[in-house]
Structures are given as C-alpha cells and as structure tokens.
Structure 1
C-alpha cells in the first residue's frame, strides 16, 4: 500500500482538528465522554480527525508528546 502524501488540504483539515474543543479535551484528559466520542468517530466519520492522523502520525485522541495531561 502506498503511503498517502500529505497535502496542504490535509494540513488545513488537521488544523481544524487541532483546534476542535472536543478533540483538544480528549487529547488533554485521556478519559471521559469527549475521549470516548473522539475514539468512536475518528476512524471513519470525521475528516478532520483522519487528516490529523495523516499529518501528525497519531490518532486524534492520543496525547501530544511532551505535554502534560492534567
């Protein structure tokens, strides 16, 4: 399978996910309803979460490396 080339559109969509209040809360807390919701929709429903994964190489609910959670 060929690796997807990251486009400017992917970066734009990933930026929306990065600023999404639900996804930010899921990345920060790693628990709760926002976390469960993002884990459920990110794989096949949300184009922003999919782009975030392509650009950053991690799922939208996974914490940002180097940042403390709570």
Structure 2
C-alpha cells in the first residue's frame, strides 16, 4: 500500500477544518444538522475536510478522543 506524504498545504487546510465552526460543532455534538451536513455532504466537497482526514487519519465529523 502506498503511503501518502502529508504536505504543508494539507496541514494548513486541516487546521482550517479544526477551526471551522460547522466541523467543530459536528465533532463535539455528534448529532444535529451540522453533523449531518459534515458527514454526508461536506466531506466529499470541502478540501479542508479532506485534508483533515489525510493529516489526522479520521473523518472530519468523528468525535475527538478524550
């Protein structure tokens, strides 16, 4: 399996996803309109959400580990 190299651009976009109010709400609440939006729609279109998945190894809507 080919490992992808995480670029600095990926890290910048992933940080945008971390700071995004919609994605942050989806990660913390795990329900509601924001969660549905990020899980079903934004993850396929948003380059920041895609970069978040590459950098952190989990989807933008998945809950943070405590």
TM norm. shorter chain > 0.5:
yes
Q: How does 1:1-70 map to 2 (within 5 A)?
A: 1-40=1-40, 41-42=42-43, 44-66=44-66
- Residues of 2 paired with 1:17 and 1:9: CA distance? 13
Extract structure 1 runs of 4+ deviating beyond 4 A. Answer: none
1:4 deviates by: 1.4
**Unaligned regions of 5+ residues in structure 1, if any?**
none
Normalized against structure 1, the TM-score is what? 0.88
Q: Name the count of aligned residue pairs.
A: 65
Name the SS for the 2:45 alignment partner. coil
Pairwise CA RMSD: 0.8
1:2 deviates by: 1.6
Which of the pair is proportionally richer in helix? 2
- Residues of 1 paired with 2:37 and 2:18: CA distance? 16
